[in-house]
A = this chain, B = another copy of it.
């Protein structure tokens, strides 16, 4: 039912057909044209309607199944199950989330310098001690209240932060613009009490802090970034949508 959705294909576009279909399907779901519970037409009918082969149509649907937005049942059909799905890597990008929520935010760069990695840091970045790394300390405010203390380290060989506009945009956005694609990230989320420096910077009296440690890898498996952040737990929490396959 509800095949009022209109999908247009551009065969001269470099964007793969299955991706064009997937994008327009996802948009339809996010915008509510297809609501949770709605059944979409079967693969063969859809493929015919769009002038595509069944494998291509399947591939389009599969990407949305992997995102957790559609569910297929053999002998039954394909159904919409979920509208809003959160992007994966970064768990949640603090910068983007706050921007999306319309919160006024501000970032203060406390330190940005090149230095040689000590043993512990080299281990995190999988370098040999002594190699040069960027060290970046930032303090992020929301509505003029300090929210998070962000400490990051990146190998100089792979990233250039010299001209990064880190006060006005996120670190990950800078990496994306530099053509660096983060593929895998290992994260560890915990909690701790604030130490003296953190209490001072974050103006958090006895508020427990949420900690996040992350190592991010690019396509080649090289470490791009190691960060350890602390957040005021009264102002922030991590949200994520997980999909099991």
- The reply to whether the CB of A243 lies closer than 8 angstroms to some CB of chain B is yes
Within 8 Å CB of A211, what residues of B?
237
- Which one of B185, B210, B242 lies within 8 Å of A91 (CB-CB)? B242
A200 interface contact, C-beta 8 A: no
Residue numbers in B under 8 Å from A242 (CB-CB): 88-91, 184-187
A240 to B210, CA, bound (A): 16
The answer to whether A239 touches B68 (Cβ under 8 A) is: no
Find out whether the CB atom of B245 lies under 8 angstroms from the CB atom of A188.
no
> Can you name the residue of chain B whose Cβ is closest to the Cβ of A206?
B193
Least CB distance, A29 to chain B, in whole angstroms: 12
Cβ–Cβ contact A240 & B187, under 8 A? yes
A208 partner residues in chain B, CB cutoff 8 A: 191-193, 208-209, 233
Q: Could you tell me if B82 and A190 are in contact, using CB atoms closer than 8 angstroms?
A: no
**Does A156 belong to the interface (CB within 8 Å)?**
no
A66 with B244: in contact, given A184-B81, A208-B191 (CB under 8 Å)? no
Note all chain B residues with C-beta closer than 8 A to A185. 241-242, 244
Q: Please report the C-alpha to C-alpha distance between residue A90 and residue B240 in the assembled complex, in whole angstroms.
A: 11
Given A82-B184, A242-B184, A243-B184, A237 and B88 touching (CB < 8 A)?
no
Q: For the complex formed, measure the closest distance between the CB of A92 and the CB atoms of chain B, giving whole angstroms.
A: 10
Q: Is A182 an interface residue (CB 8 A)?
A: yes
Question: Residue A71 at the B interface, CB < 8 A?
Answer: yes
| Number of chain A residues close to chain B: CB under 8 A | 46
Within 8 A of B (CB), among A132-190: 181-190
Closest to A68 in B: B184
Evaluate contact between A192 and B233: CB separation under 8 angstroms: yes
- Residue pair A190, B238 in contact (C-beta under 8 Å): yes
Residues of B within 8 A of A88 (CB): 242-245
* Of listed A88, A189, A220, residue having the most chain B CB within 10 A: A189
Q: What residues make up the interface of A, taking CB atoms closer than 8 Å to B? A: 36-37, 66, 68, 71, 73, 79, 81-82, 88-91, 181-193, 206, 208-211, 217, 219-221, 233, 236-245
Can you list 24 A-B contacts (CB < 8 A)? A37-B221, A66-B66, A68-B183, A71-B183, A71-B219, A73-B219, A81-B183, A81-B184, A81-B221, A82-B217, A182-B244, A183-B244, A184-B243, A185-B244, A186-B241, A187-B242, A188-B237, A188-B239, A190-B236, A191-B191, A192-B233, A193-B206, A193-B208, A208-B209
